[in-house]
Amino acid sequence: MDILKQFLGRLHPLLVHIPIGFIILGLLLQWYDRKKKSYTKIIAIVFFWAGICSILTCITGYLQYLGEGYSFNTVKWHLWFGIATSLFCFMMYFKLAETSFTSFISRLPVVFLSVLLFLMISITGHLGGDITHGKGYLLEPFPNRIKSLFGYKSFEEKPIILTEENWESSLLYEDVVHPLINNRCVSCHSPKKSKGGLQLHTLEHIRMGGENGEILVPNQPDESSLYSRLVLPKDHEDHMPPKEKPQLTKDEIAVIKTWISAGSPTEVTLGELQLPKELFLSFFPKIEDRFYPDVEVAAVPTDSIAPIKDFGIHVQPISSSSNFLSVSCINKPDFTDNDFELLKPIKEQIAVLDLGGTQITDGIFEKLTTLPHLTSLKLDNTAISGQGIAQLGILEHLKVMNFTHTQFEASHVSAFGDFKQLEKVYLYQTKASKEVLDGSLENQDILDFGNYGLPKIASDSIIY
């Protein structure tokens, strides 16, 4: 008997489509026949059968509710609307067949019944869809903004912002743990969707636990599944959040652990608990380490790059999202100072310039001053001596310079003192060396004279 019940129940998703078809057909015919009213009898038959099928559908639906273990709350509205729909089908039939079954029906306008029936079938269908595919299935493809208009967005991301000034006075639960659980867990554990009977949107609910019992044992993170499930292997069945959902970072897991270890307090600040700052560094606003200038430049039109490329110079954006260019003469060893004119159309955009191994002379420095965003400059393996290098001091973004294997003179090294952002100068195989300059420099640490060696040691020649 149970088998039959379950089997008939499972016919429900199939049967539902029959009354839907009949009702829509009836409504369409009504609209088509709105003037002449010559098909009324036929339309009545359509609604009669719509009603019969609706009742069958309701019965199988009820069996499915019993057999598949849905809670009444989930199916409630779908069930009532379904029953109502079948009743309205019969009302429509009685009205059209003019059986004068009851007098109040004959007083109702047909259009009113038609509109109502259309609404009923739509609502019932939608509610049924929500049960099979999950709530919010229909609107899922839309962005959050639109979903929230329909009241579907199940949670709102709460940013965690700690700063140098306020981090010690921030509350551990209110300012860190609560938004963190909100952002990572609440989309599945809230009044709207409480998987495992667990809700995590308030502290009370966290303390209440879910169907597997309590999830928070004060001071014992390893006993609290609020923490212990986070650190299970990702493939473990009980790992949270589920494998395919965004995961907590290591720092976030550490914060949860800290909070539970401290006895899951509410009104305590990070400073009062004397927690280390390192634990929370990932919640501080990122100080972006930008190598390239923090300014916007316009994109270079392709046709002004073409002649430069055709000349044999390699030109390429730093990345596909950047307008800054990296320019290299790696394939153009016969590049001379005069060829620099060619680069004029892209002077604003050049951030990286590699003229290594070319025919340039010290005359190039004056020209280089016209590249306002130059960040990295390579002049290695050329004949330059550094005469005029001081002019580059006006380039406020210049960070790295490479003079490896050139005639760079020791006397020009002092010019680097006036450079604003300079981070590194490579002077290996030049006339400038540590010995020559002998500690007469202020900013030694940005200069790399190279000439490293690995002394011979006894073990070099021991064969085991």
Partner 1 sequence: MEPIERLLQEKLIREAQVKTRRHFIKDCATGLGGLALGSIFLGCDPLQPSSKPKQASFSERDLNPLATLPPPYAPKVKSVIYLHMAGSPSQLEMFDYKPVLHKLNNQDCPESLLQGKKFAFIKGTPKLLGPQAEFSQEGESGNWVSNYLPHFKKVIDEVAFLKAVHTDQFNHGPAQLFMHTGSPRLGRPSIGAWATYGLGSENQNLPGFVVLTSGGKTPDAGKSVWGSGFLPSVYQGVQCRSEGDPVLYIEDPKGISRDLKKSTIDAINKINKEEYTKYADPEILARINQYEMAYRMQIAVPKVMSIENEPENIKEMYGVESGKESFANNCLLARKLVEDGVRFVQLFDWGWDSHGTDHSTAVDLGLRNKCREIDRPIAALILDLKQRGLLDETLIVWGGEFGRTPMQENRGNKEMGFKGRDHHGDAFTMWMAGGGIKKGACYGKTDDIGFLGVEGRVSVHDVHATILHLLGFDHEEFTFEFQGRNFRLTDVEGVIIKDILA
Strands (E), 270-378: 314-317, 325-328, 350-354, 376-378
Of the candidate residues 194, 322, 361, 414, the single one contacting partner 1 (CB under 8 A): 322
Measured in whole angstroms, the distance separating CA 455 from the mean position of its chain's CA atoms is 52
Of the candidate residues 84, 273, 400, 410, the single one contacting partner 1 (CB under 8 A): 400
H-run or E-run covering 400: strand 400-402
- Sign of CA pseudo-dihedral 88, 89, 90, 96: positive
Contact set for partner 1, span 178-217 (CB under 8 A): none
How far apart, in whole angstroms, are the C-alpha atoms of residue 54 and residue 87?
9
Of the candidate residues 45, 318, 436, 446, the single one contacting partner 1 (CB under 8 A): 318
Q: Write each residue from 416 to 435 as x if it is in contact with partner 1 (CB under 8 A), else as -, in one continuous string.
A: --------x-x-x-------
How many binding residues for partner 1 (CB under 8 A)?
34
Using CB under 8 A, which of the segments 179-187, 215-223, 262-270, 442-450 binds partner 1?
Answer: 442-450
Q: Supply the minimum distance, in Å, between the C-beta of residue 180 and partner 1.
A: 18
Nearer to partner 1, 316 or 440 (CB): 316
CB crowding 182-200: b at 16 or more within 10 Å, else e: bbbbbbbbbebebeeebbb
H-run or E-run covering 424: strand 424-426
Q: Write each residue from 272 to 301 as x if it is in contact with partner 1 (CB under 8 A), else as -, in one continuous string.
A: -------------------xx---------
Q: Supply the minimum distance, in Å, between the C-beta of residue 289 and partner 1.
A: 8
Nearer to partner 1, 39 or 292 (CB): 292
Nearer to partner 1, 30 or 402 (CB): 402
Residue 304 interacting with partner 1 (CB under 8 A): no
How far apart, in whole angstroms, are the C-alpha atoms of residue 436 and residue 438?
5
Token pair listed for 116 = 């109502």
Specify whether the CB–CB gap between 379 and 364 falls below 8 A.
yes
Specify whether the CB–CB gap between 441 and 427 falls below 8 A.
no
Residue 302 interacting with partner 1 (CB under 8 A): no
Using CB under 8 A, which of the segments 142-150, 217-225, 261-269, 446-454 binds partner 1?
Answer: 446-454
Residue 462 interacting with partner 1 (CB under 8 A): yes
How far apart, in whole angstroms, are the C-alpha atoms of residue 84 and residue 121?
9
Q: Supply the minimum distance, in Å, between the C-beta of residue 457 and partner 1.
A: 6
Nearer to partner 1, 152 or 292 (CB): 292
- Integer angstrom CA distances of residue 261 from 176, 204, 395, 446: 15, 18, 53, 46
**Cα angle value 349/352/355 (rounded, 5°):** 115
Q: Supply the minimum distance, in Å, between the C-beta of residue 250 and partner 1.
A: 9
- Sign of CA pseudo-dihedral 334, 340, 342, 347: positive
Q: Supply the minimum distance, in Å, between the C-beta of residue 333 and partner 1.
A: 10
Measured in whole angstroms, the distance separating CA 5 from the mean position of its chain's CA atoms is 46
Nearer to partner 1, 175 or 380 (CB): 380
Nearer to partner 1, 46 or 351 (CB): 351
Nearer to partner 1, 120 or 329 (CB): 329
Q: Supply the minimum distance, in Å, between the C-beta of residue 316 and partner 1.
A: 5
Which neighbouring-strand residues pair with 194? Answer: 189
Residue 314 interacting with partner 1 (CB under 8 A): yes
Token pair listed for 447 = 């200069």
Specify whether the CB–CB gap between 449 and 426 falls below 8 A.
no
Residues of this chain that interact with partner 1 (CB under 8 A) are 291-292, 314, 316-322, 328, 330-331, 378, 380, 400, 402, 404, 424, 426, 428, 448-454, 457, 459-460, 462-464
